[in-house]
């Protein structure tokens, strides 16, 4: 773009007048304003008017970052007070207090419980929206400036616009980069946004903790590991997109990433409900794989990354996550539930058959996670595609049809797209009884 577009917008969760305006706007839309300590939505939003070409496209994700922010959550026990469970997956349909989820509207608060557990034990806390957000779009760079408690950081997202379609475009945010077939995405009229995750939180090695712009804002001793810091940075970028005049449609956003960045994409998608589609590519442990199955694979003699190893490799998780190195079964959740936080939105897991990624773990975990989408009546909103081993982070052409289908359904509004895909070329057969001792309800 040759012209400079600058919007400087104040987002203040503490301003009573802004809160009153927001409440009125939400009421007009049939929604309720919420309060709480867990990732509330930005106080104000300037909605981009869609071009008539896109007038029939409906947003496929809620307009809030965290719809369960007002849920009352119980105090979570510290590590020493946790009781080891068996090696099966914890029940996603039973609340912490023992209440069984029987209605769809209960999932919102059950999701909030899982989010709280994941933050306390694995990922660290995700701060909510900052006091001030600025968005500036110039020469295909979108600069985000965040101010909090007298401190300020800025980071740049690279934007590549498609030649097909008419702005405002749906967009795929790539953690680090979009490792999917970029040309195919742009043929569909989808813009690409490169998110600078290493700028937000460093991930060079185990000495990287507390380094990056997130920690400049919140302190080097903040509990968030790199994955959660990236998720926060993505959410603040969405805040800025919502209030800025750009060629991007902030109501039609997807997120993706591969390998360690695939872990980041899944966490970002899980913790921001404004993201309509998450595509996790070859994400392994801390992503699509579960800690329990990966441990079982290691015990069976396979060379697979486990919790006890990953906490020594890098700073993706909160520091205290290492407490679970020899006691995975103490975790009151696993990654089938982290994936389930994305439900009922779109999730596509595309996998490689590399032993280190957990061939069984990275396939069986999302297959079991699909039970959450099934309970919500949208089983085809989750897909899994696992190919035989190929070069890491180089998407095979054979996976393009399912990627296209998910993009068409969740970013382009094509509800006829066939997203029913659960497949593996490895011959794996999922033995749900091995990992599941709970039943999937049909939520009303």
Instruction: Report how far residue 42's alpha carbon sits from residue 39's, in angstroms, rounded to the nearest whole number.
Output: 9
Instruction: Report how far residue 105's alpha carbon sits from residue 128's, in angstroms, rounded to the nearest whole number.
Output: 23
Angle at alpha carbon of residue 106, lines to 100 and 109, rounded to 5°: 105
| Residue 30 contacts residue 152 (beta carbons within 8 Å) | no
Q: Model confidence at 51, in pLDDT bands (50, 70, 90)?
A: very low
Q: What is the pLDDT of residues 314-338, one digit of tens each?
A: 999 999 999 999 999 999 999 999 9
pTM, to two decimals = 0.88
> Which residue matches tokens 């039973």?
94
- pLDDT of 60 reads 57
Domains recognised in the chain with CATH numbers: 40-48+56-127+155-435 (3.40.50.1820)
| Residues in a beta bridge with 154 | 145
Among the ranges given (50-64, 171-185, 293-307), the one the predictor scored with the smallest mean pLDDT: 50-64
Return the CA Rg of the chain.
20
pLDDT exceeds 70 at position 186 = yes
Among the ranges given (21-25, 218-222, 238-242, 259-263), the one the predictor scored with the smallest mean pLDDT: 21-25
Helix (H, G, I), strand (E, B) or coil at 71: coil
Q: Model confidence at 27, in pLDDT bands (50, 70, 90)?
A: very low
Q: What is the pLDDT of residues 296-320, one digit of tens each?
A: 999 999 999 999 999 999 999 999 9
| Residue 256 contacts residue 174 (beta carbons within 8 Å) | yes
Q: Model confidence at 35, in pLDDT bands (50, 70, 90)?
A: very low
Q: What is the pLDDT of residues 90-143, one digit of tens each?
A: 999 999 999 999 999 999 999 999 999 999 999 999 999 999 999 999 999 999
| Residues in a beta bridge with 368 | none
Dihedral over alpha carbons 16, 113, 270, 67 (to 10 degrees): -30
Rounded to an integer, the average pLDDT of 157-169 is: 96
Rounded to an integer, the average pLDDT of 257-275 is: 98
- pLDDT of 430 reads 97
- pLDDT of 220 reads 98
- pLDDT of 84 reads 82
Q: In this structure, are strands 151-160 and 191-195 parallel, antiparallel, or unpaired?
A: antiparallel
Q: What is the pLDDT of residues 215-253, one digit of tens each?
A: 999 999 999 999 999 999 999 999 999 999 999 999 999
Q: Give the C-alpha distances (Å, rounded to integers) separating 187 from 50, 190, 192, 233.
A: 20, 7, 11, 28
Q: DSSP for 72-98? A: --PPPPPGGGPPP--SSPPPTTB-TTS
Query: Which residues are annotated as catalytic?
Result: 259, 392
Instruction: Report how far residue 192's alpha carbon sits from residue 198's, in angstroms, rounded to the nearest whole number.
Output: 18
- pLDDT of 111 reads 98
pLDDT exceeds 90 at position 74 = yes
Dihedral over alpha carbons 50, 56, 61, 63 (to 10 degrees): 40
- pLDDT of 85 reads 78
Instruction: Report how far residue 437's alpha carbon sits from residue 296's, in angstroms, rounded to the nearest whole number.
Output: 17
| Residue 318 contacts residue 124 (beta carbons within 8 Å) | yes
The total of other beta-carbon atoms located within 10 Å of residue 420's CB is 11
- pLDDT of 11 reads 37
- pLDDT of 126 reads 98
Mean pLDDT of the chain: 89
Q: What token pair was written down for 39? A: 């990732």
| Residue 214 contacts residue 237 (beta carbons within 8 Å) | no
Rounded to an integer, the average pLDDT of 37-46 is: 32
């Amino acid at each position: 773009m040759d012209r400079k577009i600058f919007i400087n917008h104040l987002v203040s969760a503490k301003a009573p007048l802004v809160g009153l305006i927001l409440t009125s706007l939400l009421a007009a839309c049939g929604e309720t304003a919420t309060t709480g300590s867990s990732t509330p939505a930005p106080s104000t939003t300037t909605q981009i008017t869609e071009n008539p070409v896109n007038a029939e496209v409906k947003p496929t994700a809620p307009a809030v970052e965290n719809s369960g922010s007002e849920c009352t959550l119980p105090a979570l026990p510290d590590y020493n007070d946790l009781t080891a469970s068996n090696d099966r997956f914890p029940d996603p349909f039973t609340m912490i207090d023992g209440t069984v989820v029987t209605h769809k509207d209960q999932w919102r608060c059950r999701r909030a419980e899982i989010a709280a557990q994941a933050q306390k034990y694995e990922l660290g806390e995700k701060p909510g929206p900052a006091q001030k957000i600025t968005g500036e779009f110039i020469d295909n760079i979108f600069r985000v400036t965040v101010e909090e408690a007298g401190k300020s950081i800025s980071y740049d997202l690279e934007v590549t616009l498609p030649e097909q379609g008419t702005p405002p475009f749906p967009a795929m945010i790539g953690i680090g980069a979009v490792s999917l077939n970029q040309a195919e995405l742009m043929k569909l009229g989808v813009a690409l946004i490169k998110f600078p995750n290493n700028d937000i939180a460093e991930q060079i090695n185990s000495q990287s903790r507390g380094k990056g712009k997130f920690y400049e804002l919140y302190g080097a001793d903040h509990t968030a590991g790199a994955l959660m810091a990236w998720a926060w940075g993505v959410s603040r970028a969405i805040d800025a997109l919502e209030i800025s005049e750009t060629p991007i449609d902030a109501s039609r956003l997807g997120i993706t990433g591969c390998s360690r960045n695939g872990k980041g994409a899944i966490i970002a998608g899980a913790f921001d409900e404004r993201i309509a589609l998450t595509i996790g590519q070859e994400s392994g442990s801390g992503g699509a794989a579960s800690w329990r199955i990966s441990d079982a694979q290691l015990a069976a003699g396979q060379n697979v990354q486990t919790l006890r190893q990953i906490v020594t490799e890098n700073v993706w998780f909160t520091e205290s996550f290492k407490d679970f190195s020899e006691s995975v079964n103490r975790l009151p959740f696993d990654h089938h539930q982290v994936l389930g936080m994305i439900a009922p939105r779109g999730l596509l897991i595309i996998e490689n058959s590399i032993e280190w990624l957990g061939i069984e773990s990275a396939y069986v975990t999302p297959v079991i996670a699909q039970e959450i989408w099934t309970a919500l009546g949208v089983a085809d909103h989750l897909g899994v595609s696992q190919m035989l081993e190929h070069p890491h982070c180089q998407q095979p052409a054979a996976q393009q049809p399912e990627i296209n289908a998910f993009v068409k359904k969740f970013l382009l509004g094509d509800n006829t797209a066939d997203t029913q895909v659960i497949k593996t070329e490895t011959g794996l057969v999922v033995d749900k009884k091995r990992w599941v001792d709970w039943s999937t309800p049909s939520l009303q």
